[in-house]
Amino acid sequence: MSIRVVLADDHVLVRESLRSLLEREGFQIVAEAAEGQDALRQIELQRPDIVVMDIAMPVLNGLEAARTISRSFPKIKTILLTQHDEEQYLSEALDAGVKGYVLKSQAARDLVQAMRQVSGGEIYLSPGVSRALLEAYRSKSKKPADSLTPRERQVLQLIAEGKSTKDVASVLGISVKTAESHRTRLMQKLDIHETASLVRYAVRRGMVQP
């Protein structure tokens, strides 16, 4: 039985390329998505074996989507596609429950191997990601996670993407007052009191791209 896959990337050409690559190798693409929220909807409907996601997607990034998948669908394995090989991004990905971390520059060569290893229960890292980083991650005590709720992290991403409170409310389907309350609470929790610092924090956590 073929492995069922959901693809999520905000670039149509990337999704088409990945679909072609994976279908040639016998994987079944059951759905595609252009951003994290839609990816979660497709996962709920399709219940795939593996999700292949870009780390940088609008509205809900790959890291936050991976956290939700790990929590709500623990049997579904997530592979992140990324251009970052820095330790901070790898740590965030592993904390989020990601099983595969593939550099976009090597995706054509590495993704199929990643799919096979992850489906077999292993963790896969592109060769460009130092194994020493993985060992350092495993050996260190985990840094404290931030205390933000999933909704607050989503609001933070949207703020970091340059959206106003009114825009945030519209995207999330909540009132402006509720969006403002989320913004106030997340700033209090992080002890950050200006938008520029929020953006820097979001970049450090891998929630948005620099």
**Are the C-beta atoms of residues 96 and 28 closer than 8 Å to each other?**
no
With respect to residue 160, please indicate whether it lies within any of the assigned structural domains.
Answer: yes
* 69 and 163, same domain (yes or no): no
Here the CATH number for the domain that contains residue 39 is 3.40.50.2300
Spatial distance between the Cα atoms of 20 and 43, rounded to a whole number of angstroms = 20
Per-residue pLDDT tens digits for 6-49: 999 999 999 999 999 999 999 999 999 999 999 999 999 999 99
Here the CATH number for the domain that contains residue 168 is 1.10.10.10
* 103 and 158, same domain (yes or no): no
Per-residue pLDDT tens digits for 152-207: 988 998 998 888 999 999 989 999 999 999 999 999 999 898 888 888 888 877 77
Q: 128 — phi, psi (to 5°)? A: -70, -15
* 155 and 90, same domain (yes or no): no
CB burial of 86-103 (b: ≥16 within 10 Å; e: otherwise) equals eeebbbbbbbbbbbbbbb
With respect to residue 78, please indicate whether it lies within any of the assigned structural domains.
Answer: yes
pTM of the full predicted structure? 0.75
% residues pLDDT > 90 (the chain) = 55
* 122 and 186, same domain (yes or no): no
With respect to residue 209, please indicate whether it lies within any of the assigned structural domains.
Answer: no
3-class state of residue 77 by DSSP: strand
- Kindly state the average pLDDT of the residues 94-110: 88
Q: Is the pLDDT of residue 135 over 70?
A: no
